[in-house]
Structure 1
């Protein structure tokens, strides 16, 4: 099934600029490369059984929206992220083949090679929501709790974006496309930062509604009796099941299952309850 494609307004703006400036051929080449790149993500996600909502296309990349919300294994998501950049390899092979048999003008081949390299390198930058930024998030998620990893990813993404923008202004000539692209990236990071609490709650809700894999690694979380549930959740990591130990405890077996905590928070609406209170009620 072909995914639903959504064209971001900035891409329409670039298309209009291409028509007015006589660079429509270059725009079509970029559009082709971006679509192939995103289809790499899409078909790999479908291979793993992900539910795809739509693909948002914008200049030099896109964003695939799914229903998974960080509930799948990190390795699985990493392959889906990497699948996009891997598509550029066969695009290189196609362009070099066309060059050998001379079926496409050499000027078009050179433009194709230039934009294929540019889009590939651009998407590997450690900037959210580019593939490089997503790989940074997955790497940090392996070592840190979800909320901390997400916050670190956005902060580092904004810092790198500003550094890249200043460097471009200082060392490269001014172009309207570069300004629009920089503005778009910063805007996306701003939105991600504003929605970070919602994204974290969505991660928790998906975790609550999704059955825990039998082979999931168990990691203890040690908290004080006065720790609120939300602060307990701050320590939750992807790909791991947590046993919440409330210290000091009367017995070594005084602990809560994470599903008990999530159930109390989402189903029973006990948003202000502490771990100690929940433990006493669960006995």
Structure 2
């Protein structure tokens, strides 16, 4: 459990909302179970699941090397659990099995958790859907950068909305929104700073992508680079959903080297100077 969830639990117990908290806890558990079951179906190795008041975060070993389509299906599996739970709660209320007020509470809780998680802010489910979608139009380093930027902007907007009440006479701060917005902002601030290290992890799992794409009979996509450009510039051109052949050009537009991406990646990972020209890296 994330410390934020523990704080919410403590506050709920102190204010006498234990039953509502326990219901929220069960909804979050089922929400995360949706992610885990679909991830296990695809054969993912899950390190841990962190429970948060608005959902959870499943951490996997080889994020970035997994197919974007699978990533999207795993992400949407959580909110889909909120759909059937909300419909079931509504049905129980209509049949008289639950009190109308309790049925309405469970429906509202599922709607809140499901819709909130679809916001395009990392690491919410919507943020992972955003990242999976960007993987089809940008190289992976840019995907991570844009995911962090969009998430920082939207979480900043969330914080601003939580403070709007201060502009009205007698208004106040929406504390829940402020806490969650601040948590998401700090998470993405850390994520943005960690992108160079996360990218190294992405490179270390590229062999899995190459094997998968070759088994599917997918043709290699060309990456054309000037031999004088740095090695770090070259590897940052890799796409998540493709594997590549590097065409290293000399002056006069002649091809000096043609190398599969794994050779470039392996040389780069062993290189002490990431700014070394790519043509020297392949000698």
> Would the TM-score normalized by the shorter structure come out above 0.5?
yes
Shift of residue 99 of structure 1? 1.0
Q: What is the deviation of 1:17? A: 0.5
Q: Distance in 2 between matches of 1:277 and 1:194?
A: 29
Matched, 1:46 2:40: yes
The answer to whether the Cα contact below 8 Å between 2:162 and 2:178 also exists between their aligned partners in 1 is no
Aligned in 2, Cα 1:155/1:15: closer, same or farther, shift over 3 Å? Answer: same
Secondary structure in 2 aligned to 1:203? helix
| 1:212 corresponds to 2:236 | no
The whole-number CA distance in structure 1 between the counterparts of 2:158 and 2:75 is 22
Deviates more, 1:33-42 or 1:202-211: 202-211
Checking the alignment, whether the CA contact within 8 Å between 2:138 and 2:239 is kept in structure 1 is yes
Q: Is contact 2:28-2:56 (8 Å) kept?
A: yes
Equivalent residue of 1:57, what SS? strand
Aligned to 2:163, what secondary structure does the other structure show?
helix
Query: Are the structure 2 counterparts of residues 52 and 27 from structure 1 closer, same or farther at C-alpha, using a change threshold of 3 Å?
Result: same
**1:102: which partner in 2?**
96
Match of 1:221 in 2: 223
Q: Secondary structure at the match of 1:223?
A: strand
Cα offsets for 1:40-68 (capped at 9, x unmatched): 11000000000111100011011001112
**Partners of 1:100 and 1:8 in 2: CA distance:** 36
Number of residues of Structure 1 aligned to a counterpart in Structure 2: 274
- Following TM superposition, the consecutive aligned residue runs of length 4 or more in structure 1 with deviations greater than 3 angstroms are 208-211, 249-254, 267-273
1:78 corresponds in structure 2 to 72
Q: Give the equivalent residue in structure 2 for 1:4.
A: none
Corresponding residue to 2:129 among 119, 135, 139: 135
Contact kept? 1:208, 1:262, Cα under 8 Å: no
Unaligned runs of 5+ in 1: 1-6
Q: Tell me the distance in 2 between the aligned counterparts of 1:105 and 1:217.
A: 59
Determine if contact 1:217/1:239 at 8 Å carries over to the other structure: no
Conservation of the 8 A alpha-carbon contact between 1:216 and 1:239: no
**How far did residue 165 of structure 1 move?**
2.3
Give the CA deviation at 1:34. 1.1
1:161-176 residue pairs with structure 2 within 5 A? 161-170=155-164, 174-176=173-175
Contact 1:218–1:240 (CA under 8 A) maintained in structure 2: yes
1:191-231, CA deviations, whole angstroms, 9 ceiling, x for partnerless residues?
Answer: 11121111111101111466522134421111111122211
Offset, 1:178: 2.3
Contact 1:60 1:122 in 2 (8 A): yes
Name the structure 1 match of 2:180.
181
Q: Quick one: distance in 1 between partners of 2:231 and 2:68?
A: 25
Could you tell me which residue of structure 2 aligns to residue 87 of structure 1?
81
CA RMSD of aligned residues (A): 2.0
Contact persistence 2:164–2:173 (CA under 8 A): no
Higher relative contact order (Cα pairs below 8 Å, separated by 6+ residues): 1
> 1:62 corresponds to which residue?
56
Residues 140, 237 of structure 2: 8 Å contact kept: yes
Deviation at 1:125, TM superposition (A): 0.7
* Distance in 2 (alpha carbons) for counterparts of 1:216 and 1:196: 28
State whether residues 146 and 237 of structure 1, in contact with CA within 8 Å, keep that contact through their aligned partners in structure 2: yes
Match of 1:195 in 2: 194
Q: Is the 8 A contact 2:140 2:238 kept in 1?
A: yes
